């Protein structure tokens, strides 16, 4: 089993990385989905829910739920021998790592866990978020700044600084995809 994590500030390109991973046979677990699902259940703001979840259950909560999802996927793979099984490759990507606590949980659970950090300037990221228009994206610069500060409080800067790979995403999307494809294929070869 190969598990690789992706980190980066909002709008940096984590979703593009996950898309490349899917095309190579990775099953993707999005940590943000765990928070968005909980926010929806609570009928609350996503950002506030992210903070509350960690206060209520500890800094490890989102990572632990992500580990559970991967283990469930692996079990469903073992119990299904058809070509339509969830994931026959044993390759998993965790998108949206935000704190060193989360990296710690993943390293405890997955041998040779690696992290890819995607970096873009704040100006580039803000433009992307305005264009993307997901319901929790910031369309005002002041909200964008608040979201960045919240992410940094979680410790995302430390995760980026200590990642195994750092990819700058300021150019064409094809360039990012090529770099990520190369990194993932190298990691897949190392797993064999």
pTM (2 d.p.): 0.86
Q: CA–CA separation, 75 vs 61, rounded Å? A: 21
- The pLDDT of residue 130 is 85
Per-residue model confidence as pLDDT tens for the chain (192 residues)? 999 999 999 999 999 999 999 999 999 999 988 888 889 999 998 888 988 998 999 889 999 989 998 998 888 865 544 334 444 578 999 999 999 999 999 999 999 999 999 999 999 999 998 888 776 667 778 888 998 998 899 899 999 999 999 999 998 999 999 999 999 999 999 875
Q: Which domains does the chain have, with CATH numbers?
A: 2-185 (3.40.50.300)
How many Å apart are CA 87 and CA 108, to the nearest integer? 22
Report the distance separating Cα 138 and Cα 132, nearest Å: 10
What span, in angstroms and rounded, lies between the C-alpha atoms of 159 and 154?
A: 10
């Amino acid at each position: 089993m190969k598990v690789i994590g992706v980190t980066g500030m909002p709008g940096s390109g984590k979703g593009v990385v996950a898309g490349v991973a899917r095309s190579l046979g990775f099953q993707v677990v999005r940590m943000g989905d765990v928070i968005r699902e909980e926010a929806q259940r609570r009928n609350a703001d996503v950002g506030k829910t992210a903070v509350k979840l960690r206060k209520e259950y500890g800094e490890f909560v989102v990572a632990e739920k992500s580990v559970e999802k991967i283990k469930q996927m692996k079990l469903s793979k073992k119990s299904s021998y058809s070509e339509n099984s969830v994931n026959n490759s044993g390759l998993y990507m965790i998108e949206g790592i935000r704190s060193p606590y989360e990296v710690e949980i993943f390293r405890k659970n997955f041998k040779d866990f690696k992290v890819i950090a995607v970096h873009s300037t704040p100006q580039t990221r803000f433009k992307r978020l305005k264009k993307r228009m997901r319901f929790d994206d910031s369309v005002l610069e002041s909200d964008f700044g608040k979201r960045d500060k919240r992410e940094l409080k979680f410790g995302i800067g430390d995760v980026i600084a200590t990642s195994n790979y750092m990819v700058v995403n300021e150019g064409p999307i094809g360039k990012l995809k090529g770099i990520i494809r190369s990194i993932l294929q190298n990691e897949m070869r190392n797993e064999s």
